[in-house]
Chain A
Amino acid sequence: MAELTYRDAVARGIAQEMARDPDVVFLGEDVAKAGGVFKATVGLYEQFGPLRVRDTPISEQAILGAAMGAAMTGLKPIAEIMFSDFFAVCFDYIANEFPKSRYMTNGQTKCPLVVRTGNGAGSRFGAQHSQSVENWCMMIPGLKVVAPSSPVDVIGLLAAAVRDPDPVIFLEHKSLYGTKGEVPDGEILDKLGTAKILRPGRDATIIALALMVPRALAAAERLAAEHGIDCEVIDVRSLVPLDTQTILGSVAKTHRCFSVEENPRLCGWGAEIMSIIADEAFYDLDGPLVRITTPHIPLPAADILEDAILPTVDRIVERVRRTLKA
């Protein structure tokens, strides 16, 4: 057991899979010699060499297209798109090519690849380097979408993504890179499509993803200490496949559900989950389903403005308290 940063967990996860399988290759902008702009891939180039860890030009379409062609023909590529906002310049592969080729070809074409990307706000980078785009990915049939919140989940879910036979979008949160967590020694392999109950509770369920998970946990502690409200916190982890059973099971127990979402409000991931709860667990509910989200505006750069619009611990506490006491 060792303490590891989320950043170092990325490199460890990739290294674990590259050491295991010589067909795993890694490409992206500045990922090899420079070790990545977030320093999340330091050491891989030295360990696995220039044939397996490759710097590319600033050509996001070439990166994802090449990953797909390699995946179709026998490799297991991990491709990095530096900022998830750049999905917009290579979205053809994410929306049209990776997820539809198997279906269109009646099962002939395989696409076992992982796209890793830096997602989310908190770095004061403004509206084009800070977005949470998990909802862009969740809406596309054929993709799998994962967003870990802790170092151990980074390694285990990354390993599961690399070994998965489908295209997986792996969203790393930029504001979590510096956070630390305990990580066991040896191989770590998790399972896609599994949510995790991080804090059991009786009075309300809070579902969260990525950076919103530590905030939901902090809010739950304060709600318990200051307001006597005992919240169950679920880290959704995997948007596709979606572990609805864990969520529905929790709601059946607490009769309340709140989502904490960093993506802008319209069509955020929580809306889909809340609609499932409304469809399938309506009579379990004692109150409204409440979504706590970033408002439907582009993200500002200034720290004071950016901090004001993401869901905060204060906002979560206030919203849960007000709804339950109403």
Chain B
Amino acid sequence: MSKKPIPAAALNDDIGEETRLELYRSQVNIREAEQRAFDLFLQNLVKGTSHLSLGQEAVAAGFAVAMKKGDLSFCTYRGHAHTLARGVPVEQVLGELMQRDNGLMRGKGGSMHLTSEEHGVMGSYAIIGAHLPIACGAAWRAQYKGHSDVTTCFFGDGTTNIGAFHEALNFAAVWKLPVIFVCENNLYMEYTPIRDVTAVEHPAADRASAYGLERIVIDGNDADVVYRTAMTAYEKARAGKGPSLIECMTYRHSGHSRADPAKYRPEGELERWKERDPIKIYRERLKQFGIGDDAVAKIDADIKRIVDEATEACKAAPNPPMDILTTDVYADGGWAWRN
């Protein structure tokens, strides 16, 4: 994607300085934490697998900032960004990646299952497509109980070719559920370009009409665009007008997972997308709106300190104790399947 001038709509000052700083802070927080996760992996301190959102920060930040307290989010195994964006502390996220006792789930879930219900993060799902129907159920509860919260469900382009995607979209549309489906199209399902395995150009948006939904494709690297689109969708959902399906065009700077050097990408593609790095775009945006370098520098320094402190806390944290091995299999807290 070539460098484009900032669209006029993005220069509309409807967002305001406070929200823009929040959007910036959220993106930098994700960038620094994800970069740290990668560094810790290289030091063999992040175990198991991990799927980074480097380059995709604007989607997570744009939606999370547009959400209200009490709104729910569901995401995939590429879920660190969405977890951080809802306000979950970096230490708990890194702790889970490092499988320490201070992790969000004390090491019982791992990188692919980050969950913090108190922040509205209703889980990260490692089976492609599984969480779209689950998000429908959360939205159904809101509709049934007359609650005003909206559920957001994030997934990748690869998810659009699995059955659960289609079942969930039809279900949500027929029941007019307050759920927003957000496809982060980063061009690759895993190693294979999504266009090589999909019958339409836009794997999510071009399917929208099959479910009576509007076709929405947006620049997922521009947090303002994401934020505005999210606000419109939330307003519609809260008004009882049903679900939305939003395809955000973005790009991951790293491989699919930690084992992937991403050598399948054509030469120059990464560099072109890095010119459209969401954080770079947003720094320019802040400047255009007269937000001073000091405010930006303060956020950068703040986040760096938080991530540094979290890293040290995680390195010092103990491993999970053996006594949690058999807890919480059943609701009584234990694992007894017989008398």
Contact = CB atoms under 8 A, between A and B. Distances in A.
Nearest to A77: B137
B137 A67 contact: yes
Nearest to A165: B331
Interface stretch (A32-40, A239-247, A305-313): A239-247
Contacts of B332: 165
Interface string B144-178: 11000001000000000001100110110011000
A165 B328 CA distance: 12
Most B CB contacts (10 A, CB to CB) among A71, A109, A166 go to A109
Contacts of A92: 127, 130, 164
A6 interface: no
A73 B335 CA distance: 23
Interface in B310-333: 324, 327-333
Nearest to A111: B331
Contacts, number: 162
A64 B127 CA distance: 15
Contacts of B263: none
Contact of A166 (B122, B164, B330): B330
Nearest to B114: A105
Contacts of A102: 328-331
Interface string B102-124: 00111011100101110000110
A71 B135 CA distance: 11
Interface string A220-246: 000000000000000000001111110
Interface string A68-107: 1111111101000000000000001100110001111111
B193 interface: no
Interface stretch (A54-62, A126-134, A148-156, A198-206): A54-62
Contact of B328 (A68, A106, A241, A276): A106
A103 B170 CA distance: 31
A241 B175 CA distance: 36
Nearest to A246: B339
Contact of B171 (A66, A68, A70, A107): A66
A71 B137 contact: yes
A63 B151 CA distance: 17
Interface of A: 25, 51-52, 54, 56-57, 59, 61-75, 77, 92-93, 96-97, 101-110, 112, 141-142, 144, 164-166, 193, 240-245, 276
18 contacts: A69-B137, A69-B140, A70-B141, A73-B142, A96-B127, A101-B123, A102-B330, A102-B331, A104-B105, A105-B109, A105-B115, A106-B108, A109-B115, A112-B331, A165-B332, A166-B330, A242-B337, A242-B339
Given A69-B135, A240-B337, A241-B339, 6 more contacts: A62-B171, A65-B134, A68-B134, A69-B134, A70-B138, A141-B329
